[in-house]
Every structure is written in structure tokens, then in C-alpha cells.
Amino acid sequence: METATNLLSLITKYMEQSTQPLGFWDGFLKYGIPIIQTVILLGGALAGLYKYYSVKNKEINEQMLKDVYAPLYQYFIKQELYCYINKIDRDYKESPILELTNTKRNEKTYFGEKTKTEVTVLEETLLNLNRNEFLSILDSVNIGLASKELLTLLNMYKVLIYHELKADKTSDRFLDATIMKVDIENAIRKEVIIGYLHYHKKLKLDTITTNEFHQITGDKIEFNYKVDQSVKERLRDDILNNPDKY
């Protein structure tokens, strides 16, 4: 601010002297050189200020990507690839966030005076894709950086999950929460995918080559990788003929 004030003062004095009988070189040496020096100094200060804010903005964008969008984005990528590999045909608008579990049933029979059979059922999560994991990711989001829209949606989702777990299955609370939950999940999915791509682009992290494995349009993730069937059959034959290798 002081530099700018000095510059204005020098220019004013120079203009005043220009109306008085003063030689060109005398005027240039007395006012021109200081004006040039002040302009250079002011330009350097502005350049330094621009660089400072550019670095700060870059750091904030990196944090937004790392602490807000990337963890949630990974969840959607994993669930969609799982569905693609396992050929699960579904409308993602009807089930935007999946819970993938596998149930194992074990039976043990004990023989004695009385024969007794014990059945244990073990439910395991696939790829950490379940409600608890998703809620854990939500809790890890840096709420100080999350957009107002995303923060609102995440908290709405937690409240709806609570009612879905606690309310009677035929009550209005359960039905309203379950129906509303799907719309909120779609909104979260859209906000996360579009938000991730937005900050990815702002940081100029776009891939150099065209991605041949997947395509993202809006909130839709599509895997377009085509397996070479001849390679697939050769691999199948090799497994059958050389099972020890696998």
C-alpha cells in the first residue's frame, strides 16, 4: 500500500514539473527513474502476492480432494467394478450405495448320548463395502472443507439410517426414511463423483492418455474394458492343464 502511495506521489510531482521549465534528462533522472523503480517494486510485490494465493489455493484443493472427495469416490469405484466383474445387472439409481456381504453357514454335529447339531452363520463383508464402512468414511470426511451441500447430505443420511435401523418396519417413520434415503444416496453419489472430478481438474491432474477401462458421465460410472476371449480361453486351458501354477 505504501509503495503504491509513493508511486502516485512521484507521478503527481512529475506531472507538476512537466509544466515548469526543466530539461528532459533532468526530469527523467529526478522523477522518471524513481517511478520505474517503484513500478518494478510494486510489480514484484503483486507477483509475490499472486504466487502466495496460488500456492494456498492449490493446498486447499489438494486437501479437498484427499480429505473429502477421494475416500468416498473410491467406495463408488470399488462397488461398480465389483458389479461389472460379477455381471450384476442393476439400476444404479435404485441402489446408489451397495452393501456387499457373503454369508457362510457351518454345521457341526456332535454324537453322544444325544446327537446335537450346531449351526453357525457368519456374514463377511466384501471389499469393505458395507453400511458401517460407508458411515466410517463419512465420519472421516474433513467437515471444515466439505461443501455446504455435501455436509448437509451426509448428516441427513446418518439421520435416515438411524430411523431405518430403529423404527418399526411397517411404521411411517421407517417407510419415509427408506424412500428418502435412496434419493439422498443418489444426491451424495452425484455430489461426490462430480466434486472429485472438479477438484481433480482444478489441480490439472487429468490423465495424459484416454482411459480405456472406464468412463464417467455425470454420476454414472461405466466400465468399458473388453476381455479378449481368445486370451481368456487360453488362460482357462492353462489352468485346467496346470492347476499347480494357480
The C-alpha atoms of residue 201 and residue 219 are separated, in whole angstroms, by 16
Q: Which residues constitute the domain of residue 151?
A: 58-206
The C-alpha atoms of residue 103 and residue 120 are separated, in whole angstroms, by 10
90 part of a folded domain: yes
196 part of a folded domain: yes
pLDDT at 72: 94
19 part of a folded domain: no
**Model pLDDT for residues 132-182, shown as the tens digit of each residue:** 889 999 999 998 899 999 999 999 999 999 999 999 999 999 999 999 999
**Residue 218 φ/ψ region, left for φ over 0, alpha for ψ in the -120 to 50 degree band, beta for the rest:** left
Give the number of domains in the chain. 1
> What is the SS3 assignment for 177?
helix
21 part of a folded domain: no
Residues 6+ apart with CB under 8 A from 143: 151
Within a 13 Å sphere around the CA of 20, how many CA atoms are in the beta-carbon half?
8
**Model pLDDT for residues 178-236, shown as the tens digit of each residue:** 999 999 999 999 999 999 999 988 888 866 555 788 899 989 999 988 999 999 999 99
97 part of a folded domain: yes
pLDDT at 131: 86
162 part of a folded domain: yes
Q: Where are the alpha helices (DSSP H) in 18-65?
A: 24-27, 33-64
- Statement: the pTM of the whole predicted model exceeds 0.75: no
Q: Where are any strands of DSSP class E within 94-219?
A: 101-110, 116-125, 214-217
pLDDT at 99: 86
Q: Looking at 8-17, 92-101, 152-161, which range is the least confident one?
A: 8-17
Q: Residue 143 corresponds to which amino acid?
A: I
Q: What is the DSSP letter of 19?
A: T
